[in-house]
Amino acid sequence: MKFELVFIPFPGIGHLKSAVEMAKLLVNRDDRLSITTLLLPSLPGGEDVSSAYMASLSAASSNRLRYEILSGENTDTRIPVHIANQKPKVRLAVEKLVGDYSKLREPPRLAGFVVDLFCTLMIDVAKEFSVPTYLFYTSSAGLLGLGFHVQTLYDENRYEVSESDYEESEAVLHVPSLTRPYPVKCLPHGLASKDWLPILVSQARKYREMKGILVNTTAELEPYTLRVLNGGDTPPAYPVGPLLDLTSKEDNKGSDILEWLDQQPPRSVVFLCFGSMGGFSEEQAREIAIALERSGHRFLWSLRRASPPGEFTNLEEVLPEGFLERTKDVGKVIGWAPQVAVLGKPAVGGFVTHCGWNSALESLWFGVPTAAWPLYSEQKFNAFEMAEELGLAVEIRKYWRNDRSVDLVKAEEIERAIKCLMEQDSDVRKRVKEMSEKCHAALMDGGSSQAALKNFIQNVFENLG
């Protein structure tokens, strides 16, 4: 018997690329399985997914791995409303899919939906087709455990976090899936926001309705968290990562950057890159520049401005006078960077990052230690987990405020972190190297992620009824 899964990723590039890699892994693992991925319209004002990337996915469709673009405009920037507005389109697309299959001599059976963490409302559509829903969780198992814990406290009226003062709080949360107390001031803003908290709690309740949760992590990276999650009352979590897009066609746009890196000594360059939405004020950019020059290390710095988002038009006016001339032989200040290709270069010895989960996994894959500089979303939690919980990152500072405009990080702090990050025999570097080897092994035949993938597919079969 053949069976079909419908994937519904969130239309942000980080979520979408992970989902694409997840779908590829599944169809490669079991030839009875086919997957249709429904590509939703981008959220207005959100992280845009390039039309070229969407078109390349559509062109790459095959018999067992298909991509369907759901067109349409939406002017509402609220994620739950945006996703709710896509439900009729998803319903029609799945109806057509089932109808097309009914004409085949041996039609595959619709076995379920696999939805992104922001697309849990699609469980309602899955119920209309009488199939189960599975969650694809693009962040860490640690964040998943925190979300479940906050939801429990909230529903029991025991969650006492105030948006106005939580960043000044000395309180801690004793999260069952973490080995150490979690400071309230390290909470992602959404888990304190009066607007976002009810949405995230509602999402966590939806997670509990799933038949299983695919998590972009490995058993070796988050062993304690996964043991707690799989020993409790939540759906089984399958650590199937790291899911990485290591063959980006965009990397060839940075050939001059990569050639420069090829000319540098091994592990000599500190790479600074803060994601497609990460930027800084002019004042903060100057502090970073001072720290880089004082540190004495070679550097590759992907610099973008915070407001309005984009690249600075004149670096000479932004950076300290003479900085570019003084550092021209040891450093490069660039705009966009081919992050994966850069991290894969032997010259890169450290990575100053916003600590998005994809970036954290990429750094581990290539064995490059990180210094965490969280900027938005769940990145404050990722920074805590990588540095405090797992010992796989260097701290620039212990606590971060969400309002970057008033939270200037001084050159002294940055310089200290860079020197610590680039230390060649540090414990962090050794741990990262060991974890890199484990991440590679997890994806090999007989590895932990391969085993989790097999168990997930078995779960899907058992839920067919």
Kindly tell me if the per-residue pLDDT of 25 is higher than 70.
Answer: yes
Q: What is the pLDDT of residues 89-141, one digit of tens each?
A: 999 999 999 999 888 888 899 999 999 999 999 999 999 999 999 999 999 99
Instruction: Specify the long-range contacts of residues 229-233, CB closer than 8 Å, at least 24 apart.
Output: 229/141, 229/144, 229/145, 229/148, 229/177, 232/176
- Express as a percent the part of the chain with pLDDT over 70: 96
Q: Would you place residue 250 in the very low, low, confident or very high pLDDT band (cuts 50, 70, 90)?
A: low
Whether 297 and 329 have beta carbons less than 8 Å apart is answered as: no
Q: In what order do the strands lie in the sheet with 269-273?
A: 331-334, 298-302, 269-273, 348-353, 370-372, 393-395
Whether 339 and 370 have beta carbons less than 8 Å apart is answered as: no
Q: What is the pLDDT of residues 27-65, one digit of tens each?
A: 999 999 999 999 999 887 655 566 778 888 888 888 899
Whether 316 and 324 have beta carbons less than 8 Å apart is answered as: yes
Q: Helix or strand or coil: residue 369?
A: coil
Q: What's the average model confidence in pLDDT over 411-425?
A: 98
Q: What is the pLDDT of residues 304-322, one digit of tens each?
A: 998 888 899 999 999 999 9
Q: Across the chain, what does the average pLDDT equal?
A: 93
Q: Identify the structural domains of the chain with CATH numbers, from first to last.
A: 3-138+210-241+445-462 (3.40.50.2000), 250-439 (3.40.50.2000)
In our burial notation (b when 16+ CB lie closer than 10 A, e otherwise), range 161-183 reads: beeeebbebeeebebebbeeebb
